[in-house]
Amino acid sequence: MNLYAQNILDHYKTPHYQKEVADATISHHEVNHSCGDALSIQLKVDGDRIKIYGFKGQGCAISMAAADMLGDLIAELSMDDILALTKEDLYEMLGIEISLRRSKCALLGLLAIQNAILEHQGGSKRSWNYYHI
């Protein structure tokens, strides 16, 4: 097993951000209807920054590990920077090749965070088509 695959398993088995966020500013729920993975995220926002990120979910190792790893990725980003993240950014973060079949699993957390921010800002939500998958 390569280092990146081990990292995914570590985040799946021992997530850092799988928690309730007290006094969350934003809550959002997304589902991958292709496989049944579901993710609820909570964000505590201060200005244009996410100060606390937490999630609860059920799904495969890739979807849950990616949701957890996103906590580190977004820690220093503004909301606009988070909205600018692409599927390629997420795939690079994961460090493994993601097949088309597993794309929605890998992107579930990103879709949830971006849609949470868009709802908070009064914008239109994104669909899976946004990522061209």
Helical pair 103-121 and 61-74, crossing angle rounded to 10 deg: 40
| Number of compact structural domains in the chain | 1
Burial class (CB in 10 A: 0-12, 13-18, 19+), 23: exposed
**Looking at the domain assignment, is residue 14 inside a domain?**
yes
Report pLDDT for 19.
97
**Looking at the domain assignment, is residue 83 inside a domain?**
yes
Instruction: Please report, for the domain that includes residue 30, its CATH number.
Output: 3.90.1010.10
* Cα–Cα distance measured from residue 98 to residue 8, given in angstroms and rounded to the nearest whole number: 12
What pTM value is reported for the model? 0.94
**Looking at the domain assignment, is residue 95 inside a domain?**
yes
**Looking at the domain assignment, is residue 104 inside a domain?**
yes
**Looking at the domain assignment, is residue 125 inside a domain?**
no
**Looking at the domain assignment, is residue 132 inside a domain?**
no
In the structure encoding, which two tokens stand for residue 28, read together? 């959002």
**Looking at the domain assignment, is residue 129 inside a domain?**
no
pLDDT tens per residue across all 133 residues of the chain: 577 688 899 999 999 999 999 999 999 999 999 999 999 999 999 999 999 999 999 999 999 999 999 999 999 999 999 999 999 999 999 999 999 899 999 999 999 999 999 999 999 999 999 999 8
Q: DSSP letter at 18?
A: B
Structural domain span for residue 110: 3-120
**Looking at the domain assignment, is residue 131 inside a domain?**
no
* Cα–Cα distance measured from residue 15 to residue 79, given in angstroms and rounded to the nearest whole number: 23
User: Number of H helices and number of E strands within the chain?
Assistant: 5, 3
